[in-house]
Structure 1
């Protein structure tokens, strides 16, 4: 078992985890739902929401002051005597605004920021003259892979260093900045290398071993850039090699590269480049769950971590002190036990290293007096993030509602002035503003109920137990000749948590992208032979797997006719993200020399952020048409930035599951259901 660091998030829990105790003074917790219109200045001051806010040692947010001022701008409205339509809208806002909503707004403006999703960028250097003519310049070393992640790896060496000099931007007179072309890591499809990679890769691995180069990952990529006309240019095939930090010199990489290129040429692969960098692989380590809704609003976004859709964030009880976090991959029904008896059990799949601290021994729950190893939805940090996110949504809605109410007042006043040319437009704008304000008020009522109920019913982590570990074989790379990483475990689910709202293997894609954006991202070219489209529900049913022979077939082409294979995943830390599957298998090796074969996924582009981060372990990687591609378990990055993620192919994972659950059904859509066709 490779001793990788876990991609399950490992961070100590703060000593005070009961956020309710710091959310409001204890004597006021029961008053969270009181309307601001009913509160005196003393009430607001005691809650830290008026004046200097001494209750919180921080000054009150200007947004809170703005909201209170909006409520009190027209005190005569509180008598209900005003018939002015615009004033009634402000009254409605006042009546809907509660103390909890104001407090959410104040907390959102002052709470400490979460750890960034990226490390600080390396210090920009314009040094262009290397110490030796054969060495990489400081500028190139830092910026060569600019764009593939927020903090990309630094170049160690590349085989075309002399024949293809890296262009160093020159500042034009009177300017102080220049643009560095952004690269995107693409997969390798429909090239001469695809047909021979299964032969070439082992030969390169043997060469590296012979030269005593401690590589951590051997993979392939092609890097694209866009010109000023936005047209994409695709670079040559790159044999992309990562070495364990501080183990490989520039000279070692330089001397090994010609031999690697020779192997490629012997197999009729011309024009390739070998590129090197340093990097280590890291493992991404009471109440029924909520139903999944199709309405794309803030309450749906807030409750996603506590729904029955795939990507459920989980944490093991035995690892509670570490706050180790991961993600559910997918569900299945056992249907029959090994002895042929009907089985009502429904199980979930995740990584072994998420479920158990001991990853070197096989585990099987026998029920013979052995204690159960319980699994919870949302560890302490993830639950805190859930509460913070809900408060943030409330705060944002309050700010928007205040602005809308002010806009409505101005529009109503404007309509009193006769201007036939503008009246029609103003009436349209007024109707739109009224509708939006009504929607925001409804959303905030729902969010307040969600926040108060979850704090009351889910705050105790013991009440977030959803099942227990049923089977978790040791992590192994020697199960068969494929050398894939077996890092899987199963959870027997508590029916009371799932049965009412269970919908099967469905991904909630959230509201980061609408259906048009998803269609463009997953199928960027005009050609979409299957006519597959994402609908407006934001839900994607998972049915079937990408078979072994299909792993090298691109899912389509982009607008430049370049083959691509776009995939998605929904994880504990990064939620729903989109990436680019590499097409060819990656070969990893730890410092002890143990090797494994993985599926590699690169970030979608410079703006998309990390495809995965620590805490996403176990997340299912899927295609745009809803097929399982891989189960995520690790990644490689720099600081908080990740440029490549690794997973085990889903078709092989299912093969392993069926050694334990031979009658597994992966397609049922209710908790207790009739049999369906197996995957």
Structure 2
């Protein structure tokens, strides 16, 4: 398709100039105005795409049409059911705009006040961890297990399309009445009455790490001040059902039967709620070493480095996922991921074992769409940096003029020196990104150049396996060791998105003992050990309420580094396929209460989830959402179960690499 010159944002450049040149011309092209114009065009296209009205915007407009402006009753008024506004906005805040689930029915006593217009600020909900001392979780045969199993069995028997049964609580942020909230006011600010002293002063500037840890632990934690009042609900049996499959009256009937069962086994007050949701998988050269601090490529290098969480796809599929941990067996290098990342639904669901006489099921680093998006992201970043350079040029010229005129010379000179250093760093970053873009275009563009290994074993996807009824969604990939010549073992790159301070705050909020989480100096988090089912019963951190929780983190292809809360209450999950349904029990992870956005999104399947000390917790298998991107709850299979399967198939397999140089030297 040719470029319409009338709509060309760069009329001095024709379509041939803006188009990518031949490979031989790449090096000169990336240093030309045409390449910068191409980058700017891609940045503008991205901005336009982000500005397009969404389906949610259309839905909200319809809700506030003149015929729907009369306030509707709340769900507690059972004769009327749930109003369209309550169904649409009750769970606002659980995900990004329009991605939170739709309410079907509830019996919680809180009153929902509907907004009067599409732009009115409304209360915001947040998923919370059920307190460790809740009476429903005192033992393995807990009340929760009974309620969960009864609920799932009842709904399946009654032909209800249940997708999940979770045990959570919520907090509701009510904004101050009559207060106009600006975007700036929405940002949380640190409270003035809880200032943390410098622990180095407390310890007389000691360099002893243990002393510093104790000093930090002895200090109060600075709390963030919120605009409004936060109210916490009772624990909730939160039931997901497929969209448009259950009306209010039928949901109310099921709610009543579940309530009767609960009343027979427990006197503890809990709520019950149905929401529309579906459980689904989250798919959508020698590799580089991980980026060092200050590396100009730190924003982009992880996708093509040897650190964990590489973005992968099958060479014959269009699905995108994340590669999990590496292991060694008989001198070769292997990696784990989820089977659904690399097998199509029409591939069947039988055990796959590679045979040398058969074609290889090759695994590539980024599928075609992901690779093109990756290159576009680099060009958009270059365009933004070019804008920064132009702005710095103007500021530098103004300061130089001020110095020539003798105006505030000392202050102007100090600022000029600062801006010149930033200008140089920005130009060097642009130069490095352009060189990286050329390398990608010349040596990684063909799919065959991104092949990193092939599948050797994939058991059939199965749910409800063993006494623990967990999911088996596993695939083993044999890797080409030559592509991993800079391999450094199982390390998780924490990435540049979260600063060291921010990540420490997210991972740990206890003040009674030193933090278990140690931020690595090189940003590479070394993994070792495994969390067991018993460990999950003994949580080791605090959430925003001061309740015990277990913080976990992961790095996925789509969401990068995120921190979440691992629930001790195991969830029931039911997935729907053309061939039938699969049911299992899963670890459930909630988003962190202080981190915006979901814990995982499509493309993160297969990512390893780890503890604050780097222990393997689980492999990410999917999550629940309303059928679009993003999750409210993320699900994972406990890693110790997965590793037991690996050892049965690969006796003597090892996650640890004591002498990496010697290991890589063997063929």
Matched, 1:389 2:377: yes
Q: Distance in 2 between matches of 1:423 and 1:396?
A: 31
What residue in structure 1 maps to residue 130 of structure 2? Answer: 188
Contact 2:291 2:302 in 1 (8 A): no
Q: Distance in 2 between matches of 1:463 and 1:21?
A: 27
Residue 642 (1) aligns with residue 631 (2) = yes
1:638-676 superposed Cα distances (whole Å, 9 cap, x missing partner): 23343222221112111111111221211226645579x
**Aligned-residue offset at 1:214:** 2.9
Q: Which residue of 2 aligns with 1:87?
A: none
Distance 1:29 1:120 in 2: 46
The structural deviation recorded for 1:170 is 6.8
**Matched-pair contact (CA < 8 Å) for 2:21–2:29:** no
Equivalent position of 1:349 in the other structure: 336
State which of 155, 160, 175 in structure 2 corresponds to 1:213: 160
* 1:22, distance to aligned residue in structure 2 (A): 8.6
The 3-state SS of whatever aligns with 2:438 is helix
Q: In the alignment, does 2:363 pair up with 1:428? A: no
The counterpart of 1:310, out of the listed 308, 317, 331, is 308
TM-score when normalising by structure 2: 0.79
When residues 289 and 570 of structure 1 are mapped into structure 2, their CA distance, relative to the original with a 3 A threshold, is same
Residue of 170, 179, 183 corresponding to 2:121 = 179
Task: Please tell me whether the aligned partners of residues 600 and 630 of structure 2 are also in contact (alpha carbons under 8 angstroms).
Answer: no
Question: Does the aligned pair in 1 maintain the 2:591–2:597 contact within 8 Å?
Answer: yes
What's the Cα RMSD here?
2.9
Distance 1:582 1:306, change over 3 A: same
Cα deviation 1:497-547 (Å, max 9, x = unaligned) = 00x211111122222110111111122454554442324533222222221
Cα deviation, residue 152, structure 1? 0.9
Query: Which of 322, 330, 334 is the matching residue for 1:327?
Result: 322
Counterpart of 1:505 (choices 490, 505, 515) is 490
Alpha-carbon spacing, 1:21–1:218, altered in 2? closer, same or farther (3 Å): farther
Cα deviation, residue 31, structure 1: 6.2
Deviation at 1:447, TM superposition (A): 0.9
Judged with a 3 Å threshold, the aligned counterparts in structure 2 of structure 1 residues 587 and 35 are, in CA distance, closer, same or farther, namely: closer
| Residues in 1 aligned to 2:124 and 2:289: alpha-carbon distance in whole angstroms | 41
Q: Aligned residue for 2:438?
A: 452
Question: What's the CA shift for 1:481?
Answer: 2.1
1:208, 1:463 → 2: CA distance? 49
Residue aligning to 2:56: 120
The answer to whether the 8 A contact 2:464-2:583 is kept is: no
Query: CA offset at residue 113 of structure 1?
Result: 5.9
1:423 Cα deviation after fit: 3.2
User: Residue 492 of structure 1 is aligned with which of 475, 478, 500?
Assistant: 478
Displacement after TM superposition at 1:164 (Å): 3.2
Query: For the Cα contact (< 8 Å) 1:184–1:604, is it kept in 2?
Result: no
- More displaced 10-residue stretch of structure 1: 589-598 or 310-319: 589-598
* 1:299 matched to 2:297: yes
The equivalent of 1:92 in structure 2 is none
The structure, 1 or 2, with the larger RCO (C-alpha pairs under 8 Å, 6+ apart) is 1
CA deviations over 1:378-407 (Å, ceiling 9, x no partner):
100111111111112211221111211221
The equivalent residue for 1:473 is 459
Shift of 1:467: 0.6
2:43 matched residue in structure 1: 108
Q: Secondary structure at the match of 2:637?
A: strand
Contact 2:331 2:663 in 1 (8 A): no
Q: For residues 455 and 571 of structure 1, what CA distance do their matches in structure 2 show? A: 24
CA distance in structure 2 between the partners assigned to 1:490 and 1:427 by the alignment: 59
Q: How many residues align?
A: 574
5+ long unaligned stretches in structure 1? 1-19, 48-99, 335-342
Distance 1:408 1:669 in 2: 52
* Alignment of 1:556 onto 2:541: yes
Is this contact kept in 2: 1:346–1:671, CA < 8 A?
A: no
Give CA deviations for 1:347-390 in whole Å, capped at 9, x if unaligned.
000011112222511011232x1222111111001111111111
Q: Distance in 2 between matches of 1:28 and 1:378?
A: 21
Structure 2 counterpart SS, 1:553: coil
TM-score between the two structures when normalised by the length of structure 1: 0.78
Q: What is the deviation of 1:580?
A: 3.0
Instruction: Report the Cα distance in structure 2 between the residues aligned to 1:444 and 1:594, rounded to whole angstroms.
Output: 49
**CA deviation vs aligned residue, 1:83-127 (integer Å, no higher than 9, x gap):** xxxxxxxxxxxxxxxxx3453234322458668998635415454
Give the counterpart of 2:103 among 144, 148, 155: 155
CA distance in 2, matches of 1:22, 1:566: 51
Instruction: State which drifts further: 513-522 or 615-624.
Output: 615-624
Which SS does the other structure have where 2:91 is aligned? coil
Change (3 A) 1:27 1:136: closer
Cα distance between partner residues in 1 of 2:324 and 2:30: 42
